[in-house]
Structure 1
Amino acid sequence: MRIIFSCLFLLTFFNSFAQETVKPEVKPVIKIDSLYREDQFYFSVTYNMFTDIPIDFKQNKFSLGLSGGFLRDMPINKSRTVAIAAGLGLSYQNYYQNLTISQDGSGAIIYGVNDYGEFVSNRYRQYSVDLPIEFRWRNSTYESTKFWRIYGGVKLSYIFSNSSILDDGEKTYRIKNNAAINKFQYGPYIAAGYNTWNVYLYYGLSPLFNSATTLSGEKINMKTLNAGLIFYIL
């Protein structure tokens, strides 16, 4: 009996000792950043058009625009649902249309609006550095990165490279960095949507060509209009 009681005592002792040495599970502390910013990379895909076009001007095919960059978010209210942002980006714009740019025998540039049957292909493209400045509203919280947004602002652009290519069936005219192109462009834009997907619209206020550029004696006042989608990535 003594042996049995001794065994029971030892089992009870070791069981109590084991229970006392078990350490509680330590869960990691998740810090919530209540001072969050919506610093974001952006990427847009647009269909490119023109406004204030000459008579008989037309576009064909899909004129593609691509842009991307980074925006620095600066909240201006306590709940951080209102902010201003500024950033830097790059853009590529491509246009298929019937405003032709060619050269005469002396090398002078000639502008015309031709029917599509009068040439094989014609396009204009440009590359620019962009400076977007925008006012932001969103219903975001520090607990969620999915929210509704309306962002509107002004984009300033510097065209550092441009080219036009015209194939009239007999000769191909390649004109690079046309001096008649206004290198500085600007205009308002708006982006609105939910989470990553947002619609985007930009309207250029500055003419594509400088004031000295004419077509049949009339000034060319064409301005750019881009519509498509913009994606924001944290």
Structure 2
Amino acid sequence: MVKIDSLYREDQFYFSVGYNLFSQAPDGLKQDKFSAGISAGFLRDMPINKNRTVAVAAGLGLSYKNYFHNLTISKNNDGELIYGVNDYNEFVSNKYRQYSVDLPIEFRWRNSTYESHKFWRIYAGLKFSYVLASKSVVDDGDNTYIVRNNPDINRFQYGATISAGYNTWNAYFYYGLNPLFKNVSDVSGQDIKMRTMSVGLIFYIL
């Protein structure tokens, strides 16, 4: 018979590392190098069954994401932002980064007991993020264009998450449900409605 502790929870700190990708990207958009992301925070576990193997959780965290790609953001003589999907031989470097505060919400299943912290888990949910700061930098060889806190970025972002694994090691996937940019088109008239994804590992620590 499995002994149950009525106060047992999986309150946890978490830390994730991942590779950032775009979906629904405009024609010709490519990524190069390693677009990395990290996040960390705390989740409050709230069991909803007697065995305390099913729960919901909500928390708070911070995240950093960067992207290396060929969607350049520059400025014209009037200071207006210009978006273009360019060949890599048309610029020296181009990157975008953002810092966010996150509110993750999870529906959790695990086969844990209060006596053992080594168990299988599947956690699925949503993550709501608010972009605190963003910065894009493009160097075309003659000029460097820096755009801080781009007003065309959706400051409020949200997406679906799922993590699964055993013990500390867990695979993690995030898919953004709203576009990174607001109503923006590139110089050829393509709408830029791309969404963000992240695949990597998440570590839960009691």
Give secondary structure in 2 for the equivalent of 1:54.
coil
How big is each residue's C-alpha offset from its partner over 1:39-93, in whole Å with a ceiling of 9 and x where there is no partner?
A: 0000000000000011111000000000000000000001000000000000000
Instruction: Give distance in 1, aligned partners of 2:129 and 2:164.
Output: 21
Higher relative contact order (CA 8 A, sep 6+): 2
- Whole-Å Cα distance in 2 between the matches of residues 187 and 230 of structure 1? 16
TM-score (norm 1): 0.85
Aligned pairs (5 A) from 1:46-85: 46-85=18-57
More helix per residue: 1
The percentage of aligned residue pairs carrying the same residue is 69
State the partner residue of 1:28.
Answer: none
How big is the shift at 1:34?
4.4
Q: How far has the Cα of 1:142 moved from its partner?
A: 1.3
Q: Number of aligned residue pairs: give it.
A: 202
Relative to its length, the structure with more strand (as a share) is 2
Residue matched to 1:141: 113
Q: Hey, what's the Cα distance between the residues in 2 that align with 1:149 and 1:228?
A: 16
Unmatched 5+ stretches in structure 2: none
Which is greater in Rg? Answer: 1
| Residue 115 (str. 1) matches residue 87 (str. 2) | yes
Shift of 1:35: 2.2
The two structures, once aligned, show a CA RMSD in angstroms of 0.9
TM-score normalized with structure 2 length? 0.96
1:214 maps onto 2:154 in alignment: no
Deviation at 1:106, TM superposition (A): 1.1
The amino acid across from 1:48 in the alignment is N
Name the SS for the 1:58 alignment partner: coil
SS at match of 2:89: helix
- Report how far residue 219 of structure 1 moved: 1.8
> 1:89-128 maps to which residues of 2 (within 5 A)?
89-128=61-100
- In the alignment, is residue 168 of structure 1 matched against residue 136 of structure 2? no
Runs of 4+ more than 4 Å apart:
none
Q: Which residue of 2 aligns with 1:189?
A: 161
1:149–1:192 CA distance, 2 compared to 1 (3 A):
same
Instruction: Return the alpha-carbon distance in structure 2 between the equivalents of residues 80 and 196 of structure 1.
Output: 19
